[in-house]
Amino acid sequence: ETALDDRTFTKHESEVRSYCRGWPAIFDTAQGSWITDVDGKRYLDFFAGAGALNYGHNNPELKSALLDYISRDGITHGLDMSTVAKGEFLETFASKILEPRGLDYKVQFPGPTGTNAVEAALKLARKVTGREAIINFTNAFHGMTLGSLAVTGNSMKRAGAGIPLVHATPMPFDNYFDGVVEDFNWFERVLDDSGSGFNRPAAVIVETVQGEGGVNVARAEWLRGLADLCKRRDILLIVDDVQMGCGRTGDFFSFEEAGIVPDIVTLSKSIGGYGMPLALTLIRPELDVWEPGEHNGTFRGNNPAFVTATAAINEYWSDDQLSVQVKAKGIEIAQAFDEICARHEGLSHRGRGMVQGLVFEQAELADRTCEIAFGKGLLAETSGPNSEVVKLLPPLTMTSEELAQGLAILSESVDEAIK
């Protein structure tokens, strides 16, 4: 835990210390991949709001769309109203994201955050199937409300919440057994065995790359096996793309590479494009059994966020340029990590696209690396069950020069942390 100084605690951040981390600075402005603090010091951002800033800070195209909207008195809060901004977003999302990928989903606005999208997905899966249990995975992270927390595979995060309201059964995530690809036969056997006490689940919820869980990458063949299992056994497949969606892995949806089509998909973080709260639950049309009033919320759909979300799709998803760049920059990061790992024993790395993790055997060294990097003007966070992974999540729009600059700082920081 980084020490926050008194001025930060008393005036500039909540005294209720329930959040993950703090940096010992007071930040003020931000542009592109850079954040500036009140003392004028600039930091290169390898954190990007935990994936909420895929298009960088104050992205000029998004900013001008937002300023235009506000200056013409575009409606900001319009609960339960049909609005122009909402309509334009729905049309753009369908024509530029869903249709080109041959995907057919109805779009639900479940509330402002990722947790809300997960909560809606779990409730819907239970309603559609009439079953209660949900399968989740070791080290998963799905949110902090009682439902999404119940499917979060982290005992520390769940410790304060008492008995979860959702019946969740954790399964080993891919690579839990060191490289062995499961065939899921064992799962079908327990399912068929009335003596096993295993409840037939409503759904399986999975991240294709576990972000908070330490950049654990599921292999495409494992995801396909899981999707086949769900199909054979009539279990709904929910892909939680809150952190890995919107291009983080190189495709708009992180499951595209595996060629699977989930029944329900959650999106949030970067879908609003400008760091503004917006969340979507995507539902295969035949699964939409919601009745009016069964899942609503005051901040269900945010018009300024629709405006920036539409601008982001138009700017970055009208062709495959961004995808190509993300995949190339992912390789640049992995190469820099190769060099760091070659210099130090006990380090390894893993990732996909622009989510890459440097894995330390000793968690204190990961923490120390981030602390040293901060001093040198670089923001990076740790993740994983013991915070042993330095997770890189730069804006997808970061230039190669900035990326190289940040990687050089990180590399020096590792050397200093270890020596």
Residues binding ligand PMP (CB under 6 A):
50, 113-115, 118, 141-143, 207, 211-212, 240, 242-243, 268
Toward ligand PMP, which CB reaches closer, 121 or 366? 121
72-81 long-range contacts, CB within 8 A, separation 24+: 74/303, 74/304, 74/307, 75/303, 76/302, 76/303, 76/304, 77/299, 77/302, 77/303, 78/303, 79/298, 79/300, 80/296
Q: How far is the C-alpha of 238 from the C-alpha of 215, rounded, in Å? A: 19
The least distance separating ligand PMP from the CB of residue 13, rounded to whole angstroms, comes to 17
As measured in angstroms, the least distance from the Cβ of 117 to ligand PMP is 7
**CB neighbour list of residue 379: distance below 8 Å, 6 or more residues apart:** 23, 35, 43, 44, 45, 46, 47, 373
Nearer to ligand PMP, 347 or 380 (CB): 380
Name the residue nearer to ligand PMP (CB basis): 212 or 402: 212
Kindly tell me which of 59 and 113 has the beta carbon lying closer to ligand PMP: 113
Of 115, 144, 112, 143, the residue nearest 299 (C-alpha): 112
Nearer to ligand PMP, 379 or 407 (CB): 379
> Contact 237/202 with Cβ under 8 angstroms?
no
Cβ-based nearer residue to ligand PMP, 115 or 136: 115
Instruction: Kindly state the smallest distance separating residue 262's Cβ from ligand PMP, in Å.
Output: 13
**Which residue, 271 or 312, is less far from ligand PMP as judged by CB?**
271
Please give the angle made by the CA atoms of 323, 237 and 210, to the nearest 5 degrees.
55
The span from the CA of 212 to the CA of 176, in Å, is: 16
- Position with the least CB separation from ligand PMP: 114
What is the residue-wise DSSP string for 5-38?
A: PHHIIIIIS-SS--SS---SS-EEEEEBTEEEET
In the bound complex, what is the minimum distance in angstroms from residue 71's beta carbon to ligand PMP? 29
Q: Based on CB atoms, which residue is closest to ligand PMP, 240 or 251?
A: 240
> What's the min distance (Å) between Cβ of 338 and ligand PMP?
26
Query: Which one, 122 or 313, has the nearer CB to ligand PMP?
Result: 122
- In angstroms, what is the minimal distance from the CB of 213 to ligand PMP? 9
Instruction: Find out whether 111 and 117 touch, Cβ atoms under 8 Å.
Output: yes
CB neighbours (10 Å) of residue 128?
A: 20
User: What is the spatial distance between Cα 408 and Cα 111, in angstroms, rounded to a whole number?
Assistant: 40
**Residue 209 CB, nearest approach to ligand PMP (Å):** 9
| Nearest-approach distance from CB 301 to ligand PMP, in angstroms | 15
Question: Which two three-digit tokens encode residue 247?
Answer: 């291009």
Q: Provide, rounded to whole angstroms, the least separation between the CB of residue 379 and ligand PMP.
A: 16
Tokens standing for residue 135: 């399968």
Amino acid identity of residue 326, one-letter, is: V
* Exposure of 38 in the CB half-sphere (CA atoms within 13 A): 6
